[in-house]
């Protein structure tokens, strides 16, 4: 285990099980859809989850990427979102979008993005998250597909970072507070 990790919250095996389960749910839910299914990865944290998930969906899927910045300290989010990389498509009314996110904290990023993509004219917009910290919500938001509900602890790995580090860890772990100057 990495020396900066206090405890593993989601093991490699559990992450694989989560991806298989959610891919199964998505495959069933969109089986009879007449629209194109677009998995929309939110850079950068969701890249690893997206890569694992998309391989397991038994339907034709398209993929795309958006990048969103939230201002604030590295271990908390301020709630102001800023779109750094947008989605540009001429066929919004023909796509069912599933936003793929690494973790939901305040809920602001996904609630803003969902509204934004609906306003842009998507046929439908749903959300999928690997991790959820519901105790941190500042706006009411419930994802359509949830990997695992976790306590209010700052986690890294499987795409999630602290100051751009630890994304490549194959599991999700709690960062030792002394690493980010916490107690
Ligand atoms: P929200 O808008 O507050 O829901 O912010 C969600 C975003 O905050 C995620 O996409 C992450 O980038 C970041 N975030 C929230 N909690 C954590 C964490 O425990 N580890 C790493 N990033 C986190
Ligand atoms: Mg993120």
Ligand 1 nearest-atom number relative to CA 161: 21
Q: How confident is the model at residue 80 (pLDDT cuts 50, 70, 90)?
A: low
Q: What is the pLDDT of residue 180?
A: 84
- C-alpha 11/C-alpha 157 separation (Å) is 10
Q: How confident is the model at residue 1 (pLDDT cuts 50, 70, 90)?
A: confident
Q: What is the pLDDT of residue 61?
A: 98
Q: What is the pLDDT of residue 183?
A: 58
CB 128 within 8 A of CB 100: yes
Nearest ligand for residue 42 CA = 2
The residue from 105, 132, 152, 163 that is catalytic is 105
- Mean pLDDT computed over 89-113: 96
Our mutation pick for probing the ligand 1 site, out of 40, 68, 103, counting the most ligand atoms within 8 A of Cβ, is 103
- C-alpha 83/C-alpha 20 separation (Å) is 30
For ligand 1, say whether the CB of 127 is within 6 Å of any of its atoms.
no
Of the ranges 52-56, 97-101, 133-137, 178-182, which one carries the lowest mean pLDDT score? 178-182
Q: What is the pLDDT of residue 78?
A: 46
DSSP state of 139: S
CB 87 within 8 A of CB 40: yes
- Mean pLDDT computed over 172-176: 96
Taking 90 as the threshold, does the pLDDT of residue 69 lie above it?
no
Query: Residue 104 to residues 77, 113, 115, 128, 173: CA-CA distances in angstroms?
Result: 10, 12, 16, 10, 16
84: helix, coil or strand?
Answer: strand
Stronger pLDDT, 75 or 10, i.e. the higher one: 10
For ligand 1, say whether the CB of 155 is within 6 Å of any of its atoms.
yes
**Domain 12-151 coded CATH 3.90.1640.20:** no
Ligand 1 atom 15: residue of nearest CA: 105
**Domain residues of the chain, as ranges?**
12-151
């Amino acid at each position: 285990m990495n020396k900066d990790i206090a405890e593993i919250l989601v093991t490699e095996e559990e992450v694989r099980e989560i991806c298989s389960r959610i891919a199964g749910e998505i495959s069933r839910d969109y089986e009879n859809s007449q629209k194109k299914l677009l998995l929309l990865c939110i850079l950068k944290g969701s890249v690893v989850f997206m890569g694992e998930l998309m391989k397991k969906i038994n339907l034709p899927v398209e993929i795309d990427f958006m990048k969103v910045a939230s201002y604030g300290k590295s271990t908390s989010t301020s709630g102001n979102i800023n779109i750094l990389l947008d989605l540009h498509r001429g066929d919004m009314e023909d796509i069912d979008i599933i936003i793929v996110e690494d973790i939901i904290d305040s809920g602001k990023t996904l609630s803003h993005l969902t509204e934004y993509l609906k306003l842009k004219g998507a046929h439908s917009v749903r959300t999928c998250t690997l991790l959820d910290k519901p105790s941190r919500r500042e706006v009411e938001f419930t994802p359509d597909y949830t990997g695992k509900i976790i306590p209010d602890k700052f986690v890294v790995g499987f795409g999630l970072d602290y100051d751009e580090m630890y994304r490549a860890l194959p599991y999700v772990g709690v960062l030792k507070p002394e690493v980010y100057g916490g107690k």
